[in-house]
Structure 1
Amino acid sequence: MKRQFGHRARLALTPAQVSVLDGQAHAARTTWNLLHDWWLMLPKAKRTLAAADAVIRRGRKDLPWLGVLPAQAAQAVLKNYFQAWKNCWEGRAHAPEFKARFRTRMSIDIPQGRDLQVVRVHRRWGVVNIPKLGRVKFRWTKDLPIGKGAGKTNRITGARLVKDALGWHIAFRISVLEQAPAPHPGPEVGIDAGITIPLALSDGTTAEHGPWLSRKEQARLLAYGQRAARRETHRTKGEPISGRLHKTYDQIARIRATAKRRRDDWQHQTTTAIATTYGTVVVEALPITNMTRSAKGTLERPGKNVAQKAGLNRAILGEAWGRTVELLAYKLAHRGGTLAEVPAPGTSQECSVCHTITPGSRRSQAEFVCNNPACGWEGNADHNAARTTLHRYRTGHALVPAAGRAVVRRASHAAKPATAR
């Protein structure tokens, strides 16, 4: 079985190396924009891959500042641009757009894995070769298929350099050949996602976490936000953003990126433990987009409790329930397990013992008391919802979309996200 996945690692760069990569990333973004303008100006009959390739080659020759981008990275821009149009024509995405300087994530493709020449230096660090930059150290947190021990079928097929608020990272693309996983012998479990308790399992256990930011970090984030608001008030509409305001925005982005990284780490560790322990995991099919819509309303019919709803929306989005399900899907598939989704309405009001819905059974966020006179069961509300979720799966209520394919994710061996561990 061929398995393709990714691994992301932090690069240790000097200020001079950061400047070189920044220049390459801006050249890649500009190449995209020039290619986009050329595409829109030409008639459809002349929009061919060969003509676009000739334009890029001529542009790199005529404009020296475009030549800082390696030739293979420029070809990767062309390939990605044509793929973006293909995704648009097939209805999977919108049409490609102009990439603005400050709203676009800076990235550089290295399409050939043989150019990387990855070597492990010691337990914590490795070295990778980056075109037009040289040998660069990166943080070694996962064994990569390098050297004679990897074999001919396991290899690094390429990489992408990505810059976020915390610096430059490298995302390796890895392809390995391995045995198909045997069916997971673990038990079944239902999961209820929440805010007070992030994940409550039907067997009575929970997966919880503390605040993503410390009190000092939260105070700094608030102070930077207030500073940015003050500086924004002194900027005339249409005037370029000052360097000081950009610096404040960068400080805010770094703190938010730190919180996101801590959340990702918790999600990876938690989902790995669940996928290793259980053979079948059942979750609710939550309509997160609908759940996090604004309550502002319209001028004719203004909404109520808008501020409270906005806080609830931030809390829901901060837990990233959708990403947790995605991580569970591919980790369970890799271990031979199954992920199933069941309808979400009523799981928090239905009793997990008598399976009846009675008004007022959920007394509070954590207390559930069945109002059915023949039952009267009492227990934790989150665990009750998790057991109800598992019961719906066992009684054949797994969701089936219109195409007729059940939403039961078995060993599909889909590609793993670049941040996977």
Structure 2
Amino acid sequence: MLSGRRYRLELTDEQSKQCQEFGDICRAVWNTGLEQRREYRRRGAWMNYVPQTAELAEAKREHPWLKAAPAQVLQQTLRDLDRACNAHGTFGVRWRSKARWSPSFRFPVGNLITVERLGRKWARAKLPKLGWVRFRWSRPLGGEIRSATVGRKGSQWFVSFLVAEGCETPRTHAMPDTAVGIDRGVTVAAVTSDGTFHDRQFIAPHETARYRRLQQKLIRQKKGSANRRKTIAAIGRITGRVTDRRTDFCAYTANRIAARNALVTLEDLRTRNMTASASGTLDQPGRNVRQKAGLNRAILDKGWHKLELALRSAARHTGSRILLVNPAYTSQTCNRCGHVDAKSRKSQAVFECTACGHRDHADVNAAKNQRDAGLAFPACGDLGISRSTKQEPVSRATGRNP
């Protein structure tokens, strides 16, 4: 099993400049390779990793500044570009902007990386052309190093080691008969079918006020000025803390849910499509743009997709199964009698069935419906999206076939 280990680097001024230079070279190689691929596609031809790697060796003779970065790092950049183009299409891959892309580069050969423990809190790693770099020893590596990625977040550099732990995913969960459904929302981040509410405030009120003041200040500043760079750095420190809190919340919640449940069901939500802008075009302007923008911010703030990724990562260590079910009508269906009516959803938090009078928290009721849909998968052979034709319908009231 492969896992990541991330540590904070303590670089010297010279090493920090080297890392920035490596990142800039990798960005140039990425953008040049992407432009070459797009130009070939316009002509009806193809370009892939192998010829681009050969041309990279020739480019080093013409442009000596490319030799400053390790060869394996540049080759890995082209390999990542090739993988991205195969997954998203040549014209679907984004450029690496100097202003918006955080510098990062990867050393793909693990046997060239050496790690030594210096004490209780510090260690050092030997990386090609960087030499020995110190980092904060916050947790053991726990396996053999396969690769190392150096990246910058804000003003701080980090190193992430990909390690082989030497273990496999358990075949069965410690509690094989347990199951839970999770309903994700904008008011509460995650509500489980057992009635537990998982939520956290990721940004404090004073940070929100300061963030707005910095944004207003940023608009009035001249582009490219030193003061503007300071303001952008201050904004990045706030957003960085918010991102860290959201990541910690998702990992904490996912680990506990996966450890206690063998089956975890989620709504099959397309977060990227749901948070798309509603501004429209000049010919067809969008409708309710401001309301849609507020909803998009609320969805992204709760970290729906990040929670799903954290659950899948935690399930590798516990043996849990993560199932996605059809979200249609889960918030309008009574979990007790199965009656579907939009009027049963009285408000965001109140659910009262118009047929049997069953009352419950709306999010808990939806989570129970998702759990039941997931439980139908092992017996029916489907993903709980619809009732399988292999099994006769079962009455919710009696629990027997009609």
More divergent stretch after superposition (248-257 vs 279-288): 248-257
Which of 181, 188, 199 is 1:197 aligned to? 188
* TM-fit CA distance, 1:255: 1.5
Structure 1 pair 66–287 and aligned structure 2 pair: CA distance change class (3 A): closer
Which residue of structure 1 lines up, in the alignment, with residue 113 of structure 2?
116
Residues of 2 paired with 1:46 and 1:303: CA distance? 37
**Do the aligned partners of 1:192 and 1:385 also contact (CA within 8 Å) in 2?**
yes
Which residue of structure 1 lines up, in the alignment, with residue 2 of structure 2?
4
Which of 300, 314, 318 is 1:331 aligned to? 314
TM-score normalised by L of structure 1: 0.79
Which residue of structure 2 lines up, in the alignment, with residue 378 of structure 1?
359
Residues of 1 paired with 2:93 and 2:305: CA distance? 25
Instruction: Name the SS of the counterpart of 2:340 in structure 1.
Output: coil
1:254 and 2:237 matched: yes
Q: Deviations over 1:124-182 (max 9, x none)?
A: 3321112222222222233214xxxxxxxx51011111112242111212123324413
**Do the aligned partners of 2:333 and 2:340 also contact (CA within 8 Å) in 1?**
yes
Instruction: Name the SS of the counterpart of 2:344 in structure 1.
Output: coil
Which of 343, 350, 361 is 2:344 aligned to? 361
Which residue of structure 2 lines up, in the alignment, with residue 77 of structure 1?
77
Residues of 1 paired with 2:277 and 2:74: CA distance? 41
Residues of 2 paired with 1:96 and 1:65: CA distance? 26
Instruction: Name the SS of the counterpart of 2:360 in structure 1.
Output: strand
Residues of 2 paired with 1:379 and 1:38: CA distance? 58
Instruction: Name the SS of the counterpart of 2:343 in structure 1.
Output: coil
Which residue of structure 2 lines up, in the alignment, with residue 214 of structure 1?
204
Residues of 2 paired with 1:398 and 1:46: CA distance? 38
Q: Deviations over 1:296-349 (max 9, x none)?
A: 456787655432332121001111212211221232233211111211121112
1:158 and 2:158 matched: no
**Do the aligned partners of 1:166 and 1:257 also contact (CA within 8 Å) in 2?**
no
Which residue of structure 1 lines up, in the alignment, with residue 124 of structure 2?
127
* TM-fit CA distance, 1:188: 0.8
Q: Deviations over 1:81-116 (max 9, x none)?
A: 44445x16xx66646665432233311221221222
Structure 1 pair 400–177 and aligned structure 2 pair: CA distance change class (3 A): farther
Which of 244, 253, 265 is 1:270 aligned to? 253
More divergent stretch after superposition (359-368 vs 265-274): 359-368
Residues of 2 paired with 1:297 and 1:80: CA distance? 32
**Do the aligned partners of 2:38 and 2:90 also contact (CA within 8 Å) in 1?**
no
* TM-fit CA distance, 1:277: 0.8
Instruction: Name the SS of the counterpart of 1:365 in structure 2.
Output: coil
Q: Deviations over 1:45-103 (max 9, x none)?
A: 99686764454334435544333212322332343344445x16xx6664666543223
Structure 1 pair 31–322 and aligned structure 2 pair: CA distance change class (3 A): closer
Structure 1 pair 353–166 and aligned structure 2 pair: CA distance change class (3 A): farther
Residues of 2 paired with 1:194 and 1:31: CA distance? 41
- The total of aligned residue pairs comes to 378
**Do the aligned partners of 1:200 and 1:383 also contact (CA within 8 Å) in 2?**
yes
Which residue of structure 1 lines up, in the alignment, with residue 21 of structure 2?
23
* TM-fit CA distance, 1:193: 0.8
1:311 and 2:294 matched: yes
Identity %: 32
Structure 1 pair 294–71 and aligned structure 2 pair: CA distance change class (3 A): closer
Structure 1 pair 51–290 and aligned structure 2 pair: CA distance change class (3 A): closer
**Do the aligned partners of 2:48 and 2:82 also contact (CA within 8 Å) in 1?**
no
Which residue of structure 2 lines up, in the alignment, with residue 392 of structure 1?
373
Letter in structure 2 aligned against 1:273: R
Which residue of structure 2 lines up, in the alignment, with residue 343 of structure 1?
326
Residues of 2 paired with 1:49 and 1:284: CA distance? 37
Instruction: Name the SS of the counterpart of 1:286 in structure 2.
Output: coil
Which of 162, 166, 172 is 1:183 aligned to? 172
Which residue of structure 1 lines up, in the alignment, with residue 389 of structure 2?
none
Letter in structure 2 aligned against 1:138: F
Which residue of structure 2 lines up, in the alignment, with residue 173 of structure 1?
162
Which of 66, 83, 98 is 1:101 aligned to? 98
Letter in structure 2 aligned against 1:7: R
Letter in structure 1 aligned against 2:146: T
Higher RCO (CA < 8 A, seq sep 6+): 1
More divergent stretch after superposition (38-47 vs 336-345): 38-47
Letter in structure 2 aligned against 1:178: C
Which residue of structure 2 lines up, in the alignment, with residue 412 of structure 1?
none
**Do the aligned partners of 1:359 and 1:371 also contact (CA within 8 Å) in 2?**
no
Residues of 2 paired with 1:305 and 1:96: CA distance? 30
TM-score normalised by L of structure 2: 0.83
**Do the aligned partners of 2:37 and 2:90 also contact (CA within 8 Å) in 1?**
no
Letter in structure 2 aligned against 1:4: L
Which residue of structure 1 lines up, in the alignment, with residue 56 of structure 2?
56
Which of 192, 213, 223 is 1:223 aligned to? 213
Structure 1 pair 52–364 and aligned structure 2 pair: CA distance change class (3 A): closer
* TM-fit CA distance, 1:22: 0.6
Letter in structure 2 aligned against 1:385: A
Residues of 2 paired with 1:400 and 1:367: CA distance? 25
Structure 1 pair 27–297 and aligned structure 2 pair: CA distance change class (3 A): closer
Mark the runs of 5 or more structure 1 residues left unpaired by the alignment. Answer: 146-153, 402-421
* TM-fit CA distance, 1:40: 7.2
**Do the aligned partners of 2:34 and 2:90 also contact (CA within 8 Å) in 1?**
no
1:139 and 2:136 matched: yes
**Do the aligned partners of 1:189 and 1:201 also contact (CA within 8 Å) in 2?**
yes
* TM-fit CA distance, 1:196: 1.7
